[in-house]
Amino acid sequence: MDRPILSLDRPFTYTIADELAAGVGSLVKVPFHGRAVRGWVLGPTDDVPSKVLPVRKLVSPVRFFDERMLQVLRWVADRYVAPLAAVIARSHPPRVAAEEIGGAGLANSRARGASASRRGSRSAGATPHATHLLAAYRGGPDLLRAVSSSSGGFVLRPAPDEEVVVAVELAVAAIAAGRTVLVLVPEASPLPATAAALLEAVGDRAVLFSGGDRRSRYRTWLEIAGGRFDCVVGTRPALFAPVVDLGLVLVARESHANHREERAPYYHVRDVALARARVDGATCVLSALCPSSEAAALGLPTIASAGRRWPPVEVVRPGTEGRAPRLVAALKAARRAFLYSPVPGYGVAQVCRSCGEPARCGACGGIIRQAEGRIACAVCGARGRCGSCGSVDLGIRRGGAERVEEWAARLATVPVRRIKGRGPEPGDAVVVGGPDAVKDVGTPALDLVGILDVDLAERRPGLSALERSLATWMEAAAWAAPHGRVVVQASRPNDPAVQALVSGRPERFHRAEAARRASAGFPVGHPVFRVVGSPDLPGELERLGPTTLLVSVEEGLTLCLLALDPARLERFGRAARELAERDVVRRVEAEPHL
């Protein structure tokens, strides 16, 4: 039933007249508590109650999922304790009825042998050219064999200058074996180099399933369902694209934060990709320079370059405002460079010059920052005024991307500019940027990458903050390959995260991270949920034997944060639905940011 409510998360039985031609995945209208409600057909059942009402109407001739996709959608609903209706609704674009006039046949062609016609059209010479880099990787031949036979799961750590090329090689191998490819990238703007290379290699048999207006997006979805494409590239929603005869699911930059859905059902691309590959009989490859701790804990075979392909990384003590002598000397000689500065703005207010009190926002108590020539609260945006006396005469401690741009311009022999939301472009220049500037732009082969303020990562809030920082550092460092250098400013050169950056190998960091998270009560691989409900909620959850259970009260509601042993997940899902019916559970959020 199209009612994304946890307490109603169960199937309802109706009869379907033959003339409606409805089946699994059909969108229909049914009577429900005196109203006409939309719902999806899940299939036949032997558990038929004594009184059964008929389906009133077939809403669309399109089948929005088949039996295999339904297995995936059920898995998502169970893993993330979400209403199946919410998962189904998010698995396809909003419907545009006008596009179904010519597209319904495409959408249902899976049942009529669309994969055979797809292979036939490709056999006329559309198979792209293959490279042979993976054969030299440790475990590479095993991965290629698995892709050819469509089986297994792997973690891939490509060489920094081969990240794009090996993605294309995997896609070509799957297509040559007569299967289709689904590639998930963390963001679509600017177009990632991986996506661009795949679209070019596969040609008109590939499609970018991301963005566009409502009509074009639905039209593309219908074409995908009809077997029009050999390769589908997209962001999170493309994970559920109705790809025909799926043989490879490739998750590019698996550790990127954008692979986690921020709205219900809060799924993670990594886990759903593995589940979909199992259901479809496909190979799943999780590719990243620095895989996540969760990926590392899966125990999958790791495929990596046989030799050292990582640029030389030098660790130096931080200089004033990031100006370590070795970095300064390297910057003067560089023609193309990137300075990574994670702190935005020009500086942070430290003290009120009028009253001597520590600077804090007079409106909300937040941090006051100088940025773009304006001093304002970084939290609420109000004009920077002392929270104690209201003065605007604040002492600013300089430091941030704007300040780095300023001092770098005095040292470099080429233009210096800040960038936001995009990586380095061709031409001689020094660019300054933060995490939003580290994009999939291929290998720009910079002379120098400078990584500033590494020490701040340990002080950032969030259980995974350090891991996210390391993944970003490694992606930025890869821009110096194959002949550039990386200078990192860190006070503790032997820290596992810094050493992972130096070596290009994150195994030691993952071991340290697993121990740290376990000691914090949130072991890697243990599902985590934030549950909101009534005062009875903590006692009910305690009976489930969680690994960790933290309780707080906010605005009259009880908030519980819990981690579960994976073996207890199914029991927790059943209990959450039962408690929702009793109004003990009001909301369940899976894998919240900690």
* CATH code for position 551: 3.30.70.260
Q: What is the pLDDT of residue 317?
A: 96
Q: What is the pLDDT of residue 483?
A: 87
Please indicate, yes or no, whether residues 323 and 238 belong to a single structural domain of this protein. Answer: no
Phi-psi bin for 21: left (phi > 0), alpha (psi -120 to 50), beta?
left
Please indicate, yes or no, whether residues 365 and 429 belong to a single structural domain of this protein. Answer: no
Secondary structure of residue 189 in the 3-state scheme: coil
459 domain residue, yes or no: yes
Smallest Cα–Cα separation from 551: which of 572, 537, 565, 564? 537
Please indicate, yes or no, whether residues 155 and 219 belong to a single structural domain of this protein. Answer: yes
Please indicate, yes or no, whether residues 378 and 335 belong to a single structural domain of this protein. Answer: no
Please indicate, yes or no, whether residues 16 and 118 belong to a single structural domain of this protein. Answer: no
Please indicate, yes or no, whether residues 381 and 323 belong to a single structural domain of this protein. Answer: no
Work out how many domains the chain is built from and give that number: 5
Segments in the chain below pLDDT 50: 104-107, 109-125
Please indicate, yes or no, whether residues 417 and 277 belong to a single structural domain of this protein. Answer: no
Phi/psi for 83 (5° steps) reads -60, 135
Smallest Cα–Cα separation from 248: which of 211, 294, 202? 202
250 domain residue, yes or no: yes
Residue 377 pairs in a beta bridge with 368
Q: What is the pLDDT of residue 520?
A: 93
Smallest Cα–Cα separation from 283: which of 186, 196, 175, 209? 175
| Polymer length of the chain | 594
Helices (H), 426-568: 465-477, 496-503, 507-519, 537-542
Smallest Cα–Cα separation from 488: which of 372, 324, 333? 324
Q: Tell me which residue range forms the domain holding 34.
A: 6-68
Residues 452-501: pLDDT tens digits? 999 999 888 888 999 999 999 999 999 997 889 999 999 999 999 999 99
Secondary structure of residue 207 in the 3-state scheme: strand
Taking 3-state DSSP, the helix, strand and coil percentages for the chain, each rounded to the nearest 5, stand at 35, 25, 40
Secondary structure of residue 121 in the 3-state scheme: helix
User: CA–CA separation, 559 vs 8, rounded Å?
Assistant: 22
Please indicate, yes or no, whether residues 443 and 568 belong to a single structural domain of this protein. Answer: no
Please indicate, yes or no, whether residues 290 and 425 belong to a single structural domain of this protein. Answer: no
Please indicate, yes or no, whether residues 286 and 141 belong to a single structural domain of this protein. Answer: yes
User: CA–CA separation, 263 vs 50, rounded Å?
Assistant: 39
143 domain residue, yes or no: yes
Residues 231-263: pLDDT tens digits? 999 999 999 999 999 999 999 999 999 999 998
Secondary structure of residue 432 in the 3-state scheme: strand
Q: What is the pLDDT of residue 136?
A: 93
User: CA–CA separation, 12 vs 39, rounded Å?
Assistant: 9
Give, in order, the Cα–Cα distances in Å from 406 to each of 91, 372, 455, 486.
47, 12, 22, 21
Last residue of a domain, one of 499, 518, 537: 518
DSSP label of 319: P
Please indicate, yes or no, whether residues 128 and 201 belong to a single structural domain of this protein. Answer: yes
User: CA–CA separation, 167 vs 459, rounded Å?
Assistant: 35
Asked if 435 and 419 touch (Cβ cutoff 8 Å), the reply is no
Please indicate, yes or no, whether residues 413 and 482 belong to a single structural domain of this protein. Answer: yes
Q: In this structure, is the dihedral angle defined by the CA atoms of residues 515, 469, 472 and 439, taken in order, positive or negative?
A: positive
Q: What is the pLDDT of residue 482?
A: 82
Q: What is the pLDDT of residue 108?
A: 54
Token pair, residue 206, equals: 């590939």
74 domain residue, yes or no: no
Last residue of a domain, one of 495, 518, 541: 518
Q: What is the pLDDT of residue 242?
A: 97
User: CA–CA separation, 95 vs 148, rounded Å?
Assistant: 35
